Structures are given as C-alpha cells and as structure tokens.
Structure 1
Amino acid sequence: MLTALALAGCNRSVDSPAPIRVDTAPDFPLQTSTIVVPISGSLDDLQRTLEAELPRQLWKIDQRIDACVPAQRVDLGLAKVKLVPKLGCRVVGQVTRGRLVLGGSGDRLTITIPVHATIAAQKVGGVLSKTATGDAVVRAVARLSVAGNWTPTAKVSIDYDWRTPPGIEFLGQRIEFVQKADARLKPVIAGLERTLPRELAKLKLREKLASAWPQGFTSIMLNRERPPAWMRITPKQLGFGGYRIARRRIELTLSAEALTETFVGDRPSDPVATPLPPPARTIGKRGLNFFIPVLADYAQLEPVVERALRKRAAKGISLAGIGPVDVKFGKVTVYATTGGHLAVGIAAEAKAKSSSMLSTKGEVWLTAIPYNVPNSQLVRVRDLDLATNTDSQITNLLVALFKDVSIRESIAQGLAHDFAPDYDKVLRSARKAIGQRREGDFLLSADVTKVENGTLAVTGKGLFMPVRAEGQATITYRPR
C-alpha cells in the first residue's frame, strides 16, 4: 500500500475540476397586500359649511284660505241650524331654523336642526287676527357612499316631530297649520341630499386619489446592505370601505390592493402606473404581506471553514492504512452550483509521516446541500461528498484525506451558519423602513405583526433565507 501511494502521490499536485458556478438571484413569489387608506376631514368644517349653505328662513307663506273656520252648526233635534258660516282668512308666516348640529357614529351621519314656526291667521271673517307658534326638531340621517367615478353620494332619511304644533283656537275650533308647514318643510330638508354630496366633494376625493394612485407604483428599501433589498409595490385596485364618523372627524376608508415583490441588489425600476380604477366593492383580506431576504454571503462561510479545518489539523490526523499525516489546509472557496448544492473548494497539502516521499498538494472540490427547518434560523449541511473523482482515487492522498469522517465533520461544522443575528438586524431595518414613510401628501404607516422564515435557498449571491412578514398598514392623507 505504501509503495503504491508513494509511486502515485510523490510530490504530485492534484487538481480536481471545479463544479459549475451558478449565479442566479433569489426568486421570491408575488404577494398580495391590502392596505387601508383613510382620507378624513373635519366634521366641524362640514358643519360650518352646511350652516352657511342652509338659509335661516326655510320658507314663508302668504295666501288666502276660504275656509279657515268651517261653518258652525247646532243640533236642535229635528235639524242642524247653521249659526256661523264658514270663515275665510289670510294665512301668513314663516318657518326659521336654529343652529345646525352634525354628529353621528360609525357609518351614520346625523344632522339635527331645531325649527320654529310663526303663522298668523289674519282677518278671520274679515275681523279678527290670531298668531300661532310652533317648534319642531328635524333629524336627518345620511348614509354616505361614492359612485363609480368616485363622486360622493348621500341617501338622507328625514324624521321630525312638532313639539308644539302651530295652531290657534277660534270660536272653540282648533286651526292646525302642521300640514301646511310640513308641505313646505319636506322639500327644504330633502335638499340635504343634494347639499351633502356637494360639500363632501370639497374634500376633493377624486383629485386626491388621482394624485396619490401613481405615487403608489414605487419601491421601498427594506435593507441597505447585506443584502440590499427592496419591496416593489404595484397597486391593482381600490376598494370602497365606507364613511365613518368618530371624534368629530368624517373619514372615508379605502382598501388599496397591491402586489408586493421582493428584489435583492440594485433598486428595481418602478412599475408602470395605470389610470385610477373605479371603486371595487369587494377587496382582499386586510394586511401587508412581503418577503425580507436574509443573506449569508459565501465570503462569510469561507473563513469559518478554514478555521474549523486548521483546528482539526492541530489535533493531528491519522488516516486508515496510512497512519499519521501532516496536513496544511489553505484557502477555502464556496459558491453555488447546480441542484441547490454548495461547491466547496479546499486547498490542502498532506504528507505521510511514515514516508517523506508520500506527499500531495492541490485543491479538492466537494459539494453539499445546506438546509434548515421552517422557522429555524440554524443552517446545517448534508450529503457532503467529493465533487469529482480522480483516476487515482484509491491511491491519492488528498482523496483519502477528504474521505475521512472527522475531516468531513469539520467541514460540515464550518458550513453551518446561525442566521439569528442577521435575521434580527434585517427585521429591524425593514420595520424602520416601512414604519413611517412619506410619498407626496400621503403617509405610509406600517406595523409588522407576524414574522416567519422559510427554507433556505442557494443562490449566486449567497445563502438566502426568505422571511415572510405580515402586518397592518395605513396610508393617510396628510398634506405638508
């Protein structure tokens, strides 16, 4: 055996062919995200506007009525005798309103208007005059929405009651003016269905959306380095989530559904903006979803493998059939190769202590499969094997060296990597990047609520661990 090894390995330089280098980038799937977009305005501002729009005098009346008081008859048993004929009169008056108050909660906007009526029956029978007053509270409940072109609409239901119905007593008869007041009051209050959308339109919803929509086609930096990572956003549709009244604010809630893509390296080009779509009535599940890549550069692994091998060599190495061997390990090269494998090249020089003539030096290539389990940041390798075999496999000293179990264990230990520190660092960077970001007059605020990592990917840029992040996000209209 020693003679054969000496003949085959004496000062022989061994160079096994290097595996094919793969330079692919990591491939992350598209994610669908739904981001809440609140656009709000002051309820006080809307109230002041409606107060200025709605006239104080809601209506007035001035008309002749032939039968203010019907004819009065007395029953004498045999017949009813008319004592007083029907009396005509002139009815004049007006209905005025008090201070308008807006309120409500949830999707109900309430409008409360106190109303006061002053109505006089003049020259009843050509002689007497009497004045009646009455008070009512008008309550309108508006359900707000938007049309297909983002124009605000309002469906108003009116309810009111007369606390003191306007009327007069004359000759024992009660003359009521409620019906006359109602007939004039209803169309005035119903005008709120026209006034409200007009005033809500002053929030300039469509103009704001048309301005904001193209700004959404952008890329956000998730991590500056190791690796530089970007989240590209491509808006797809806007869903109408209704109006909501809270804390003296009127807020229109939209849901923007977008595709989120993860890129590693240079900033990707922005997607091409599309025209503002009509409001969608259904939208996906609320939430922000994206991937954050965590990288272990191969340059990080190489010195770790070198240290592990040198530490093993310092303990002494003895090969079966050869005996003790002096080994010097040199440069280690790691990169991606085909089939999701790592290529590991190790320069080494070995000399058998039993024979000074038995020595070999060169570079030997091995391959290994790195792996982890989901939600674990610890990476290990399996299936560590020689990449190619030489014609003198049996007699080659370096081949025998790298077939040794303890050497392979040292290499496997060096290739193991704990992603936890990088994982935490990248997550902090991503949270900071999307936590609060301004795009024009809109402010993106996001909170990552759930994080989980998948299984490892071998790429040309390094070992990548895809980290899937979920959270909630809002885009608020906040002009500078």
Structure 2
Amino acid sequence: MTRNAFLLMLAIGASGCNRTTGNPAPPRVDTPPRLPNQSSTIVVPVSAPLADVAAQLNAKTPVQLWQIDKAEPRCVPAKRVRVLGQTVKVTPQLGCRIVGVVTRGPITLGGSGNVLTIRLPIRATISARDVGGIAGETATGAAIVRATARLSVNRSWSPVAKVDIAYDWTEEPGVDFLGQRIRFADKADEKLKGIVAKLERDLPAELEKLRTRQQLEAVWRKGFTSIQLNRDRPPAWMRITPRRLGFGGYRIGNGRIELELAAEALTETFVGNRPADPVPTPLPPPARAVGPNGLRFFIPVLADYRQLEPVVSRALVKLAAKGISLTGVGPVDATFGKVTIYATEGGHLAVGVQATVKPRNGLFKPTKGEIWLSAVPYNDPGSQVVRVRDMKIAGESDNQTVNLLFALFDDAVVQASIQDSLTHDFARDYRKVLVAAQRAIAGHREGDFVLSATVDKVVNGQIAVTGGGLFLPVQVQGTANIRFAPLR
C-alpha cells in the first residue's frame, strides 16, 4: 500500500470531522547571530616635516661658529739650505697673529629609509697678520659637515639616533707668503670638532621635540572605540581593542620624517545596539612584531524571516491557482493562509502554513489546520544565493492524527514550491551593507585623529540560522591607518 493511499484511508476514516488538526510547532530558537573575532593590524604613522627639525637645529646653532685671534710664533718656519756640508739658516722663523672668523650656512636635512642625512656648510675667512712685521694676507676656505643618523626608539618611545659625522675641506684655507704655505685648517679643526660634537648631541633632543610619545599616547587612547558599520537591517558595529604597538622604524622621504607603527587590535563585530567602548590601557613598550598585516572584520548580512513569509505565501497561492492533484486523492482545492517562519533546533528553519484542503471528489469534508515543516538552508562556497534542502514535515510520528493536510504538504510539487520560494539572493543586501561599511571606515574621526581604511577583499561565509534571521557572515580584509588630522 502506498503512503498516500494509507493517508487517504485515514483521512476517509476521519471524514465528517471538520476540525482543526496538525502537528505541533517546533521549538523556537532565539539565539542572536555571533561572529568570530579577528586580529587586525592598523598602521599608525606619526610624522613631521623635516623642515621643522632643521629649523630647530638652525635656531640652536649660531651663524658665527667661532672666532680666531691668537699669536702664532711659527707662522713661517726658518728656511735652511746645505752649503759645503753645513746647514745654514737663510731666513729666520717668523711669527704672526692669526685672526679670523668661521660662519655656517643653513643646516639642511634629507635622507631615505631610516637614515637621516644632515648637511652643514662652513665658510672660513682667516688672516695672517704682522708676519715678521710685514703686512699679512687673508685666505678663505670652505668645508662641508656631513652626518648620517640611523634612527630608532627606546622602550619608552624616546628617539635614539646613532650618528656618524664627518667633514672635509672643499677649499682648505691657506696663503702663500715668502715662498711658504701658511695653512689654517688645523686651527679651524680644533673648533670644528666641538661643533660636530654639539650637533651629535642636539639631534636626538630635537627629534624628541616632535612629541612622538605624546602623539602615540593620544592615538593609542583613541583606538579603543566602536565604529558603526551599518545603521539597520541589521545595525552592526565594529569594536576595536588595540593590544600591541609594533615599531616599524623611521621613514624619511618627501620632505617628512615619519615614525611607522603598526597596532595589533582585536576587531569584533556586534549586531544590534552599540557595544560599550573598550577601556583604554596604557601605551605599551614597542613590540618587535605584530599580527597579520591589514584590517580584518566581519559585516553581517541578515534576511529577516518576516521578509520570507510573504514570498512563501505568494508562491503557494500561485500554486493553488494552477491546481493541485495529490496521488491517490486526485484534484483538490487548497486555500493557504498565514505563513510563519522562524529558527528552530539543529540549524533548521521552521515553516508553518495554515491551510484548508478539500478533495473535489466530495468523499469527505474539508480539512483545516496548520502544518509545520522543517528545512536546512545552505549556500555554495562564496555564493550569496541561499537555498533550502531536506524539507520534511516537522515532528511527524505514528501516533499523530494524519489527514489530508499531511498528504498535501508531503506532496513533492508543494514542497518544491515552498523550497523555491525560500531561495533568497543576498546580493542586493550584500552590496548595500558592504557600501555602508566602506563608507563607515573610509574616514572615522575621533577628535583630532582619523581612522581611514580601504577594502581589498570580501569573502562571504556559510549561511547560519539565528534568532534574528538568516545570517550571512561577510569577511572583509583591507588596509587601515590612524592619522593625526586636527580640526581647523
């Protein structure tokens, strides 16, 4: 005996009973959607114009570096010749007075990578006066002080500079007098060494004035925040909790000195009301390395079950208009009423349909009631189209009252119509939510700091049945940075 014939016999046995029958509704599950947490890296550049550092060095270094005014007993050494095996002094040793001034040009900074270069031009004007009572001569000279500084920070985020300084005379000061060369470079060198040492001390102090630590502390505090990814359907928030701050080195280029940092942060997605902002922690010491590069977070795409109910209802009304014929029963008139959909146990959807069914052969009266079906939603990897499978009458058992409603909803055509109507393409919602999220992270301001991010990759996961609706998790990957941008 076929299953439908058996159902028909039971239905005939129940003829004359115009009562509401059906199976009990499956338990409702109200579990909210939950998304896994992600580890993200947010670049935090702290930069300043090189011109500002150069201006400070120029302000602290006088234009006139030093003066010379001293007696030199051996300006021109005595000249001797050998005559008949004897050394004879031809001219006496001559003393003089050396007078001069050394000035500098503007200090300029440049470099690339983590190497800062410093250039300091020097000009010397030096005279040898009263050389043996004879009028003196004046000489000029020029030197270039060059320095390279490899920059880093210590554990308290204070700048550290390993400086190598050298100089050379491009035009060594000296004069020819009475056939002798009077050189002044050694006199200038004594003073120049002191200037070089001062420059080596001043550079880290001027870098400290960039207020690196103060800026970092402000950026670190502002990083503990929540950003609204989507306003509704569903409202969604990304909460950022910084964990570590990695030192990526100084970068010099385009006229700026930049401290490159990377903050490792926990990025959590919440659906519903805004979560409480995380409590800021003190600025940690610099870490050698942080987590994976890039910003990672989820955005939720949600299909409310109330959106699906009228779709199923319209499909059943359309099917009824075309006509339904049940195996072993023949043509029937079916009227479909309210459709209810919600989440039930085991990741299933519960679908309840109120219906009245009447065979056209007139063997018995119409049967009226509510039948509950269950189905498993699924989507192919990377697809936003959600379908259902494994549809069956929920809670069916041997001791239930079985009637034409069971035969109706056990029919392959009816189930196929419901399955097709439950197919949902998330593409439109997907694009809407993604656009909203991109706008939210494109320029989120917290005081004088702006979090900006770009989206490089989007991958959607597997559909999940939650209390709030069919839930499609979408993983977003991109790049992000926090920059200092004070309001005018």
Say yes or no: TM over 0.5. Answer: yes
Amino acid at match of 2:90: L
Deviation of 1:477 after TM superposition, in Å, equals 0.5
Counterpart CA distance in 1 for 2:253 and 2:444 is 25
Amino acid at match of 2:67: K
Deviation of 1:433 after TM superposition, in Å, equals 0.8
Alignment of 1:331-350 (within 5 A): 331-350=338-357
Deviation of 1:445 after TM superposition, in Å, equals 1.5
Asked whether the 8 Å contact 2:239–2:269 carries over to 1, the reply is yes
2:238 paired residue number: 231
Deviation of 1:125 after TM superposition, in Å, equals 4.4
Deviation of 1:142 after TM superposition, in Å, equals 2.7
Instruction: Describe the shift of the 1:382–1:6 C-alpha distance in structure 2 as closer, same or farther (beyond 3 A).
Output: same
Q: Which moved more, 1:142-151 or 1:209-218?
A: 142-151
1:136 paired residue number: 143
Asked whether the 8 Å contact 2:239–2:268 carries over to 1, the reply is yes
Counterpart CA distance in 2 for 1:221 and 1:257 is 20
**Which of residues 202, 205, 208 in structure 1 aligns to 2:209?**
202
1:405-430, CA deviations, whole angstroms, 9 ceiling, x for partnerless residues? 00110110111100001001101111
Counterpart CA distance in 2 for 1:434 and 1:372 is 28
The question of 1:80 aligning with 2:84 is answered: no
Amino acid at match of 2:394: A
Amino acid at match of 1:195: D
1:283-309, CA deviations, whole angstroms, 9 ceiling, x for partnerless residues? 334311111100011111111111111
Counterpart CA distance in 2 for 1:465 and 1:4 is 43
Q: Which moved more, 1:363-372 or 1:175-184?
A: 175-184
Q: Which moved more, 1:87-96 or 1:46-55?
A: 87-96
Deviation of 1:127 after TM superposition, in Å, equals 5.5
Asked whether the 8 Å contact 2:47–2:259 carries over to 1, the reply is yes
**Which of residues 293, 296, 305 in structure 2 aligns to 1:289?**
296
1:10-51, CA deviations, whole angstroms, 9 ceiling, x for partnerless residues? 323213121121111222111111111222222333332222
**Which of residues 433, 436, 440 in structure 2 aligns to 1:429?**
436
The question of 1:56 aligning with 2:63 is answered: yes
1:81-131, CA deviations, whole angstroms, 9 ceiling, x for partnerless residues? 233444444433332112223333443333222211122334444655433
The question of 1:465 aligning with 2:454 is answered: no
The question of 1:156 aligning with 2:144 is answered: no
Q: Which moved more, 1:255-264 or 1:52-61?
A: 52-61
Instruction: Describe the shift of the 1:23–1:368 C-alpha distance in structure 2 as closer, same or farther (beyond 3 A).
Output: same
1:5 paired residue number: 11
Asked whether the 8 Å contact 1:36–1:255 carries over to 2, the reply is yes
Asked whether the 8 Å contact 2:46–2:215 carries over to 1, the reply is no
1:255 paired residue number: 262
Asked whether the 8 Å contact 1:297–1:461 carries over to 2, the reply is yes
Alignment of 1:414-453 (within 5 A): 414-453=421-460
Amino acid at match of 1:341: H
Counterpart CA distance in 1 for 2:84 and 2:297 is 94
Q: Which moved more, 1:62-71 or 1:322-331?
A: 62-71
Q: Which moved more, 1:446-455 or 1:357-366?
A: 357-366
Asked whether the 8 Å contact 1:394–1:400 carries over to 2, the reply is no
Deviation of 1:378 after TM superposition, in Å, equals 0.4
Amino acid at match of 2:12: A
Deviation of 1:177 after TM superposition, in Å, equals 2.0
Asked whether the 8 Å contact 2:22–2:401 carries over to 1, the reply is no
Instruction: Describe the shift of the 1:202–1:413 C-alpha distance in structure 2 as closer, same or farther (beyond 3 A).
Output: same
Alignment of 1:28-39 (within 5 A): 28-39=35-46
Deviation of 1:4 after TM superposition, in Å, equals 4.1
Deviation of 1:356 after TM superposition, in Å, equals 5.1
1:307-338, CA deviations, whole angstroms, 9 ceiling, x for partnerless residues? 11111111111111111111111111111111
Alignment of 1:338-417 (within 5 A): 338-355=345-362, 357-391=364-398, 395-417=402-424
Deviation of 1:344 after TM superposition, in Å, equals 1.1
Asked whether the 8 Å contact 1:302–1:333 carries over to 2, the reply is yes
Amino acid at match of 2:315: A
Asked whether the 8 Å contact 1:373–1:454 carries over to 2, the reply is no
1:317 paired residue number: 324
Counterpart CA distance in 2 for 1:442 and 1:89 is 65
Counterpart CA distance in 2 for 1:288 and 1:356 is 68
Alignment of 1:272-287 (within 5 A): 272-287=279-294
1:23 paired residue number: 30
Q: Which moved more, 1:421-430 or 1:240-249?
A: 240-249
Q: Percent identity among equivalent residues? A: 60
Counterpart CA distance in 2 for 1:40 and 1:411 is 61
Asked whether the 8 Å contact 2:236–2:272 carries over to 1, the reply is yes
2:223 paired residue number: 216
Asked whether the 8 Å contact 1:436–1:444 carries over to 2, the reply is yes
Amino acid at match of 1:165: E
2:125 paired residue number: 118
2:306 paired residue number: 299
Counterpart CA distance in 2 for 1:441 and 1:4 is 76
Asked whether the 8 Å contact 1:156–1:192 carries over to 2, the reply is no
Deviation of 1:256 after TM superposition, in Å, equals 1.6
Amino acid at match of 2:469: G
Deviation of 1:165 after TM superposition, in Å, equals 0.3
Asked whether the 8 Å contact 2:224–2:277 carries over to 1, the reply is yes
The question of 1:476 aligning with 2:470 is answered: no
Asked whether the 8 Å contact 1:15–1:364 carries over to 2, the reply is yes
Counterpart CA distance in 2 for 1:285 and 1:94 is 58
Aligned residue pairs: how many?
Answer: 480
